[in-house]
Amino acid sequence: MKQASWKIAALGLGIALAAPLAPGQRTASAEYDAERKIKLSGPVVKIDWTNPSAFIGINVRDASGTVAAWEVEIGNPLDLEKSGWRWDSVHIGDMVNVDGFPARGPELQAKANSVVLARTGAKLFTISSKPAVKTASQPAPRWPGSHVRLGPAPGKKGYWGPPSSTVLVETGVNVPMNKDGLLVNISDAGKVAPFQPWAKALYEYRQRTLFKDDPYNRCIPPGGVRHFQNPYGFQFLEQPEIGRILLFLGGGDRNWRIIYTDGRPMGQKDDLVLTYYGASTGRWDKDTLVVDTVGFNEKFWFTNGGLPHTEALHLTERFTRTDMDTLRYQVTVDDPRTYTRPWNGGWTIRWVPDQEIQEYFCEENAESTFLSNGSGGKYQ
């Protein structure tokens, strides 16, 4: 409740508070404390059915009458929809009883173990636990007489969804870390990648400060490899007749990226306006799309986990669709100012058939940037 009153006081002051994560601002990557069980009851005031995690907001009144606005994670919307649940399976004003676990970081955030509609006693948002039937994957669709397609076959739908890993470490390295790339043992830092000394120090600092400075928290674009690490998905649109491949991203602010395949030379860093997504040129090596990207600015973190980079960063990404449902993503990180040598990492990404990328805007969760993160300073 302390947090809630602080928030009210802050709003009373009216204007920008320089907090990296505003109180009440939930995060989809929160860790939950399975040791601490909580029960929450109250009316539903918000339904947020977006990837990667659907949330309901409920107003919980305590014994003293103080109301706290809790954000309760109820599961992944795609999984929920497979079990027949929809965004309107619960309505604003419905009274619900939630059993769950509180988040470790953000206050007033919990993960539901069960959600019960008080009026009927019905259990909501249960996932049917039928094991996925593993069927033999179909071969990847192809262009007539040519390489594989990175998008759906003509007339079909689908996009690339969840990655097999959400962290980037050098291939062959196995150190314990959570899904955000937070090391279990900070002493493992030097094993993650061949850091220059300054870069290792910065990496450790970012780890020790629990990624509080991560620009992505402020909806700065997920450039570098990061848009392939988030669960919102992406889709390719190959335009061979135009000499380019468009990438439509589900994360960040629903950004897009262009890979030119018209044979132009790779960007020369000195000539480029430095950007979050960089300047990308691609070519096909048999069934692998090889993309060189340079011209990155330094205003973002290029991967989950806080690994540093400089403007010297050159990424070589290899996209190989090994079958209908699998995209192998391999990346070479070459940034001689940050790393002592080029190094490799990668993961696979799963095809989501017959679906479309859902609408997600990072900014939506930054409810009012003007009030919450201090960035509205220009307008004061």
Instruction: Name the site residues for another protein (rule: CB under 8 A).
Output: 49, 86-88, 151-152, 154-155, 157, 218-221, 237, 239, 241-242, 246, 248, 253-256, 258, 273, 275-277, 299, 356, 359, 361, 363-364, 368-370, 375-376, 378-379
Q: How far is the CB of 237 from another protein (least distance, A)?
A: 5
DSSP track, 4-58: HHHHHHHHHH-S----SS-TT---TT--B-TTS-EEEEEEEEEEE--SS-EEEEE
| Cβ contacts of 202 within 8 Å, gap of 6 or more | 306, 308
Total count of residues recorded for the chain? 380
**What b/e readout covers 63-73, taking b as 16+ CB neighbours within 10 angstroms?**
eeeeebebbbb
Amino acid letter at 311? Answer: E
Residue 87 or 165 with smaller CB distance to another protein: 87
Helix, strand, or coil (residue 98): strand
Residue closer to another protein (CB basis): 20 or 194: 20
Q: How far apart are CA 70 and CA 3, in angstroms?
A: 12
Nearest distance in Å: CB 122, another protein: 19
- Residue closer to another protein (CB basis): 323 or 364: 364
Minimum Å gap between C-beta 240 and another protein is: 10
Residue 100 or 221 having the CB closest to another protein: 221
Burial category of 220 from C-beta neighbours within 10 Å (exposed 0-12, middle 13-18, buried 19 and up): middle
Closest to another protein by CB, 109 vs 255, is 255
CB of 64 vs another protein, minimal distance in Å: 32
Which residue type is seen at 139?
A: P
Instruction: Quote the least distance from Cβ 133 to another protein, whole Å.
Output: 27
* CA 280 – CA 269 distance, rounded (Å): 12
Nearer to another protein, 107 or 214 (CB): 214
Residues 6+ apart with CB under 8 A from 373: 16, 17, 18, 19, 20, 22, 218, 366
Measured between alpha carbons, how far is 217 from 36 in angstroms, rounded to an integer?
26
Min dist. Cβ of residue 368 to another protein (A)? 7
109 DSSP β-pair partners: 71
234 token code pair: 């992406």
Least distance CB 326 / another protein (angstroms): 20
Q: Cα separation of 162 and 229, whole Å?
A: 8
Cα-Cα-Cα-Cα dihedral sign, residues 353, 359, 361, 364: negative
Q: Which of 200/244 has CB closer to another protein?
A: 244
Tell me how far, at minimum, the Cβ of 276 lies from another protein, in Å.
Answer: 6
Asked if 287 and 270 touch (Cβ cutoff 8 Å), the reply is no
Q: Which is nearer to another protein, 191 or 254 (CB)?
A: 254
- Dist. CA 328–CA 322, nearest whole Å: 7
Closer by beta carbon to another protein, 19 or else 67: 19
Give min distance, CB of 106 to another protein, in A: 21
Report the residue number, 323 or 363, with the smaller CB distance to another protein. Answer: 363
Closest CB 150 distance from another protein, rounded Å:
12
Cα(262)–Cα(130) distance, integer angstroms? 47
